[in-house]
Structure 1
């Protein structure tokens, strides 16, 4: 375990706002979403455990490990009453951390959290080996992870449907953050595909128990074309946390903070302007 957890300081002035990033997407790639927030906030983003050199996927047996890292990072920084923003994996980690240590947060912004339906979670809990056969696990493990240049990586990603709504600038931010240069001059994934698959293989089981325990003002954001936060889960979340603010953004998918970064930033800004 590292003595000091790495992070990025995006700058700005005002209350502290922390961003917890998704699975397989390093925080530096979210510049277009986070920079507008520096107009009113001091913005930071932790680097989750998979980005630590030498970390091993076997270290994680539950997503609460990432939440524990988040708590340790906040304590490392001496923070309390932080605005906690999280996307996907980062939203779940922020949720767990806020339930465990409510003193650390003032507000929560949960974007496309991985809240799978209870029946799906029960099935995976009863069949723990089934995760290995999850097509997302197989896809992650087969993902290309080595290129001769960042230009080659960009050209390959540009053809992928998952990135079709990313602007070129957003895609370059992703490429520059998601790859690192090796001593041989090649570029490899900074977020190892084995770690990405590990998260897919063991979805977070405790989210539905955690949600009713939240007492923080919360903004919930869903992409209308989400393949992660399904409509039944979206409805169930509203029933479990009726005092939260729920917003659905059209014409975007799960990676809306990279597909529509300025729009999502504006939603966050407007919410906090009305609530702070």
Structure 2
């Protein structure tokens, strides 16, 4: 499988499937504490019509694990470098959870790279009430039992709709993660000065996205909130009520159908 050197201390693992002539390709970006295996439910179906690149972000999966710099902004810069190495001028960037932040940063900071965005229950738009609990979570991630703390955070990501297989899959991924990456990435999503995960920072930054956006949420309130930030008239927001944060893994066929239909309309 391919690797690409995107910086002095960062080599990214990625897979490249499907029709190499299709343009623009799909770039699939996983969430916090997991890796590109998260897209195993979807790659074959998407690759029937698209070139599909699925990448492990820095600190995750088979990619390099830097001692510092495991942040969404650095991850977005890595993706820009990866696309440059692959000679790909533009993609449809698809991101789940933290990956939704990463691809949104890519679209804002490198708009020429992103033809369109698909974000899946993205890791932004958190209220101040929810954010009040983040310092305690980060302390747990930096404490003596970081993986137990991460598992506690992950419980928020599931509900009765989540099959046991998916719960087990994510738990095993979390326990294989370097603890400093879990803490640094979570903190950079929501707490540091340039974090975009909490309102109103989310509003100000995401309003800078100019490309079409398809956003799929499990929460109606946050879905309605994001609909007011989208600039391109081809953008769309969906809410799959009853689904959990793992909505695209729980409903892979619905995810592929929604993305294919929206891209066809584009």
TM-score range, shorter chain: 0.7 to 0.9
Provide the residue aligned with 2:47 in structure 1.
38
Offset of residue 164 of structure 1: 6.0
Superposition pairs of residues 1-276 of structure 1, within 5 angstroms: 1-2=8-9, 4-12=11-19, 14-15=22-23, 16-51=25-60, 52-56=63-67, 58-60=68-70, 62-117=71-126, 119=128, 131-134=134-137, 138=140, 141-143=145-147, 162=158, 165-167=161-163, 178=173, 189=176, 191-202=177-188, 203=190, 204-205=195-196, 206-224=201-219, 231=221, 233-241=222-230, 243=233, 244-275=235-266
- RCO greater where, 1 or 2, for CA within 8 Å and sep 6 or more? 1
Q: Is the 8 A contact 1:30 1:257 kept in 2?
A: no
**What SS does the aligned partner of 1:83 have?**
strand
**Cα separation, 2, equivalents of 1:44 and 1:218:** 19
Q: Is the 8 A contact 1:85 1:91 kept in 2?
A: yes
**Cα separation, 2, equivalents of 1:139 and 1:219:** 32
Runs (4 or more) in structure 1 with deviation over 6 Å come to none
Q: Which has the larger radius of gyration?
A: 1
Q: Is the 8 A contact 1:29 1:170 kept in 2?
A: no
Under a length normalisation based on structure 2, what TM-score does the superposition of the two structures give?
Answer: 0.75
Do the aligned partners of residues 255 and 53 (structure 1) sit closer, same or farther apart at CA in structure 2, a change above 3 Å counting?
same
**Cα separation, 2, equivalents of 1:241 and 1:110:** 12
Offset of residue 2 of structure 1: 3.4
Unaligned runs of 5+ in 2: 1-7, 150-154
Deviation track 1:31-78 (CA, whole Å, cap 9, x = no partner) reads 11232111111111121111234422x324x53111111111111212
State the number of aligned residues. Answer: 237
Do the aligned partners of residues 94 and 161 (structure 1) sit closer, same or farther apart at CA in structure 2, a change above 3 Å counting?
closer
Provide the residue aligned with 2:5 in structure 1.
none
